[in-house]
Every structure is written in structure tokens, then in C-alpha cells.
């Protein structure tokens, strides 16, 4: 390459959505040339997706006219040449309105192309001894889904500089189907979600709501998948997912204070999220993580998203540790909630059972907050993802009046047709007198201003309570 004035790094859109043409800065003199072929910080700032490459490949071509393609793989690629010159051609093979769109250009050392997954890629060498390079963000797998179209397809009608009759091609490439026979690459608009803790109250609700919202969802839980085991997580095909929702947690608050429970709580609530944070950061995945108001001491309220952690017990401490790891992920939603009620063992179900059996409980009256029904919690998470709300921390509980546990118990008794005064209010100190239990935050009220500003307002938690108790009574 002759000495030239280097052109500035720039990125340009093409007729194929997501396919980007990059002008690289090449510094040349009589000794040769130098370029930054891939420079994450500069390129991402100009609009290139932060696609997290994991493998760098080089295809060396001896002769002029070597022609390869047209192949669409389930990963993104960043293409250039280290030596020589090629004619590049791309065909959109993704399902959707741009299916069949074509872009062609010549690639020299000062040119690169970003190719999103599902776009067919092909090239033809224009000089001998051409070194064609490409970064990819997943490792090759024989089980991956590939899509092809024939180099000579008349509909695509690529004008190859060297006629294919004179080109050097493989027999395999010559057998690829015509565009009319191609099954389009599945649209990336169908987002694929992995839900951890899928057997829990929230996990089950997410598995119910996500498909209704247009997501493709897979649920995992113990014992098959342990998020605290990094080696186990590394066996998962993460290329099959776009989003992780971590609903897995150790929630036995009192058990976390025991010698046996303490390490289990830290494994599930801190080590596990840290493992998921590593994977999400490496692969550019969106990570949604569920936190708790137990990360605060409850001395004041309502709690804002930016309130410093001040946990009282091991459960809250382990959750705060996991939260810290989640915040390191570039694309994350940390969803803090409280007083969760859903499909499974919960406080309301216990109160219904006591009322029906004629048992009059004592219930603490100095712990205040709002119930969060998993139907609202799952809907709020889906709203954040679907609306592409700014990443960060969001409080998400039920709306409505601030109540105590005793208030909830009294209302539950009334809704089952039993007198509310069968519930005896008592202080937390009195209730746990003489017991070795975890400390509880007295104020669990969460400020919901931030998530409501995104367009999502949870249902009134006391209205939800009425609906839920009615469903239990009628079951």
C-alpha cells in the first residue's frame, strides 16, 4: 500500500439492516502499513454493536478468483483483509421485510464490514495471496443452524467481477439452494430468555407470561442447573439466549443465619449472580436480577434505588453481594422487590389456612411495606425488557397503601368471612422473644417513582390481595 493520508475511522449503514460498512484508518509509509483492525472503544462509540468476539479466523487464498459463500451463520462477524483485496457480497437471509436484500463492495485493508447473524456472507479474491480475516462472537459448532443461498442465484443477481464459470469454487457451495427455496433464518426479534430459579414463585409466573409477550423461554433450576457452579454454567449453549432472568435465590432468611445455611445463602445469592454477571458481560447478554428490600436495615423509608446497602442479616448481606456483581454488567436490570406472593408457600396462603381452621394468630404490626404479587412482578420485568428502559436498578412492588403484616392478616381473615380481630397485633421484638432468628427490616416500603416513569404502574396490592384470597377460597 502506497503512503497516503489516513482517512478517519467512520461507520456507515447499508441497505441491509444492521450490516455496517467501516472505513478503517490505515497508516502507511515506504515500510508498509499499520491499522487498528478492531478497536472496541472507538468503534462502539461510533455505533458498532459491542458484539464481544471470542474467536479470530484467517482464510488465506493463493489465487485470484477464489469464491466462497453464500453462508449465514448464527453469530455476528467483523470482516476485513490483512493482505490483498476481495469483492464482498452479502444477502439478508433473515425472515422479515429485508429478506433477499443485497450489498456488495470491495474490501481492502482500510475497509471492514460488520455482519449480523443471519446475513449471508460471500467473497471473491481479486489479488493472489489474499488473507481474509474475521472475528466472530461464538465458537463454531456442527450443531448450529446455518442458512445458505447459491452464489449464482438469478434473483440475488450478484455481479461477480470474475464470472463464476472462471472462478475457483467448492462443489459444496455450488449445491446451495436458490433463494426461492431458502428457509429464512429465524428473526432476531423473537428474543430468547433463560429463566433461572424456574420452579420458584416468580419463575413459574415468568414461564407463564413470557411466551404470551412473544418471548421464547427456557426455564432451569436445581438440581439440573446450579448457578453457583461456574463449570456447570459453562456447559450451557449461551449462544441460544439473548436474555437471562435470574429468579434463583436462597430465601430462607432464618436458615441463612445458621452454620449450615450461611454458605448456602452466599452461594445462591452472591456467587451465583457473580457467575451469571461474568457470562452476561462476556457475551453481551441482558441480565435481569431480582433483589430484595432486605439489603436495607429498614430504619427509614421509602427506599430509593440509589440508597446505600445496609443489610442487617446474612440473607440481606448475601443479596447485597450479588447486587454488586450484577451492577458490573453493561446491560442489566436489577429489580428490587418486597413481600412477594405467588404460586407456592406464602404468608397469605398461611393466613387463609389459619382462618379456615379457626386459629387466631399473632402477627407483627411494626413491619410495614406493600405486597408484591408475582403477576405484577413478572409483568414489570417484561415491561422493562420490552420498552428497552434505561438499564440500572428499579424498585418494583405492588402499589397502594402502606400496610403492616398484621393489616394484611386481618384483611385476609375478613376476605375469608372471618373476623379481622381474630388477628392479634404484636411487635417484632415480642413475636421473636427468646428465638434465634434473623433481624428484619421494619420499613420495607419501596419508592416506585422510577419504574412508573417508564410507563409501568403496578396494581394496588390490596386489590390484588382480594383477588388472590378469592381464588384460594374458591379453589
pLDDT for 125-178, tens place per residue?
A: 999 999 999 999 888 877 777 899 999 999 999 999 999 999 999 999 999 999
Q: Residue range 240-263: average pLDDT?
A: 95
Tell me how far apart the alpha carbons of residues 191 and 217 are, in angstroms, rounded to a whole number: 8
pLDDT at 3: 47
Tell me how far apart the alpha carbons of residues 55 and 44 are, in angstroms, rounded to a whole number: 18
Tell me how far apart the alpha carbons of residues 203 and 196 are, in angstroms, rounded to a whole number: 7
DSSP category for residue 30: T
pLDDT at 190: 64
pLDDT at 84: 97
CATH number 3.40.50.720 given to 192-474: yes
Residue-wise pLDDT for 367-416, tens only, equals 999 999 999 999 999 999 999 999 999 999 999 999 999 999 999 999 99
Give backbone dihedrals phi and psi of 115, rounded to 5 degrees, phi first. -115, 110
pLDDT at 239: 82
304-320: b or e for each residue (b if 16 or more CB lie within 10 Å)? eeebebebbbbbbbbbb
Tell me how far apart the alpha carbons of residues 470 and 475 are, in angstroms, rounded to a whole number: 8
Q: Residue 445 CA to chain centroid, in angstroms? A: 27
Q: Residue range 335-350: average pLDDT?
A: 95
Residue 453 binned pLDDT confidence (cut-offs 50, 70, 90): very high
Q: Which is more confident, 375 or 186?
A: 375
Tell me how far apart the alpha carbons of residues 195 and 211 are, in angstroms, rounded to a whole number: 12
Residue-wise pLDDT for 414-447, tens only, equals 999 999 999 999 999 999 998 989 999 999 999 9
Is pLDDT above 60 for 4?
no
Helix axes 314-326, 272-283, angle to 10 degrees: 10
Average pLDDT, the chain: 95
Asked, as a colleague might, if the bond just before 101 is cis with ω within 30 of 0, I would say: no
Give backbone dihedrals phi and psi of 242, rounded to 5 degrees, phi first. -110, -25
Q: Residue range 189-205: average pLDDT?
A: 92
pLDDT at 6: 82
Tell me how far apart the alpha carbons of residues 363 and 402 are, in angstroms, rounded to a whole number: 16
pLDDT at 284: 86
Q: Residue range 300-316: average pLDDT?
A: 96
User: Would residue 71 show up in a list of annotated catalytic residues for this protein?
Assistant: yes
Give the DSSP H or E segment for 287.
strand 286-292
Architecture of the domain delimited by 10-181: Sandwich (2.60)
Give the bridge partners for 28, in sequence order: 33
Tell me how far apart the alpha carbons of residues 69 and 212 are, in angstroms, rounded to a whole number: 38
User: Would residue 12 show up in a list of annotated catalytic residues for this protein?
Assistant: no
Q: What stretches of 249-313 show up as alpha helix (H) in DSSP?
A: 261-266, 272-283
pLDDT at 111: 97
- Picking from 106, 123, 129, the residue whose alpha carbon sits closest to that of residue 70 is 123
Q: Residue range 34-49: average pLDDT?
A: 95
What pTM did the predictor assign?
Answer: 0.76
Tell me how far apart the alpha carbons of residues 24 and 43 are, in angstroms, rounded to a whole number: 10
Asked, as a colleague might, if the bond just before 223 is cis with ω within 30 of 0, I would say: yes
Is pLDDT above 80 for 458?
yes
Is pLDDT above 90 for 240?
no
Among 21, 27, 71, 103, the one annotated catalytic: 71
Among 114, 134, 294, 315, the one annotated catalytic: 134
Domain ranges of the chain: 10-181, 192-474
Q: How much of the chain exceeds pLDDT 90, in percent?
A: 89
Sign of the Cα pseudo-torsion (444, 295, 218, 329, in order): positive
- Picking from 48, 50, 46, 105, the residue whose alpha carbon sits closest to that of residue 80 is 105
Amino acid at each position: 500500500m502506497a503512503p497516503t493520508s489516513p482517512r478517519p475511522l467512520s461507520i456507515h449503514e447499508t441497505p441491509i439492516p444492521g450490516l455496517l460498512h467501516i472505513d478503517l484508518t490505515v497508516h502507511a509509509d515506504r515500510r508498509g502499513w499499520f491499522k487498528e483492525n478492531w478497536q472496541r472503544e472507538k468503534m462502539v462509540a461510533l455505533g458498532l454493536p459491542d458484539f464481544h468476539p471470542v474467536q479470530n479466523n484467517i482464510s488465506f487464498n493463493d489465487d485470484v478468483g477464489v469464491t466462497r459463500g453464500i453462508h449465514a451463520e448464527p453469530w455476528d462477524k467483523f470482516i476485513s483483509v490483512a493482505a490483498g483485496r476481495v469483492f464482498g457480497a452479502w444477502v439478508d437471509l433473515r425472515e422479515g421485510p429485508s429478506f433477499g436484500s443485497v450489498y456488495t463492495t470491495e474490501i481492502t485493508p482500510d475497509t471492514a464490514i460488520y455482519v449480523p447473524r443471519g446475513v449471508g456472507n460471500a467473497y471473491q479474491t481479486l489479488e493472489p495471496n489474499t488473507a481474509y480475516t474475521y472475528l466472530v462472537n461464538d465458537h463454531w459448532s456442527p450443531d448450529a443452524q446455518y442458512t445458505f443461498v447459491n452464489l449464482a442465484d438469478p434473483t440475488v443477481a450478484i455481479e461477480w467481477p470474475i464470472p463464476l464459470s472462471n472462478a475457483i469454487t467448492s462443489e459444496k457451495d455450488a449445491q446451495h439452494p436458490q433463494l426461492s427455496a431458502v428457509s429464512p433464518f429465524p428473526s432476531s426479534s423473537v428474543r430468547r430468555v433463560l429463566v433461572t430459579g424456574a420452579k420458584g414463585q416468580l419463575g413459574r409466573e415468568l414461564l407463564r407470561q413470557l411466551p404470551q409477550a412473544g418471548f421464547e423461554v427456557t426455564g432451569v433450576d436445581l438440581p439440573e442447573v446450579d448457578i453457583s457452579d461456574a463449570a456447570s454454567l459453562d456447559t450451557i449453549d449461551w449462544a441460544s439466549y439473548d436474555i437471562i432472568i435470574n429468579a434463583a435465590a436462597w430465601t430462607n432468611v432464618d436458615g441463612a443465619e445458621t452454620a449450615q445455611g450461611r454458605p448456602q445463602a452466599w452461594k445462591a445469592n452472591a456467587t451465583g449472580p457473580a457467575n451469571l454477571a461474568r457470562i452476561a458481560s462476556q457475551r453481551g447478554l441482558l441480565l435481569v436480577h431480582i433483589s430484595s428490600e432486605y439489603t436495607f436495615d429498614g430504619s427509614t423509608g421509602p427506599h430509593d434505588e440509589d440508597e446505600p446497602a445496609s443489610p442487617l442479616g446474612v440473607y440481606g448481606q448475601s443479596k447485597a453481594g450479588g447486587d454488586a456483581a450484577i451492577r458490573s454488567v453493561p446491560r442489566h436490570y436489577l429489580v428490587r422487590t418486597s413481600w412477594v406472593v405467588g404460586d407456592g408457600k406464602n404468608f397469605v396462603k398461611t393466613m387463609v389456612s389459619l382462618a379456615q381452621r379457626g386459629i387466631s394468630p399473632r402477627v407483627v404490626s411494626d413491619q410495614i411495606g406493600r405486597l408484591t404479587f408475582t403477576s405484577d412482578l413478572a409483568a414489570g420485568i417484561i415491561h422493562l425488557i420490552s420498552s428497552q428502559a434505561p438499564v440500572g436498578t428499579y424498585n418494583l412492588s405492588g402499589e397502594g397503601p402502606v400496610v403492616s403484616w398484621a393489616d394484611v392478616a386481618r384483611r385476609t381473615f375478613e376476605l375469608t368471612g372471618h373476623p379481622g380481630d381474630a388477628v392479634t397485633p404484636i411487635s417484632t421484638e415480642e413475636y421473636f422473644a427468646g428465638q434465634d432468628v434473623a433481624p428484619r427490616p421494619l420499613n420495607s416500603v419501596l419508592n416506585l417513582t422510577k419504574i412508573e416513569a417508564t410507563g409501568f404502574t403496578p396494581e394496588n396490592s390490596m386489590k390484588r390481595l382480594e383477588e388472590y384470597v378469592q381464588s384460594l377460597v374458591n379453589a
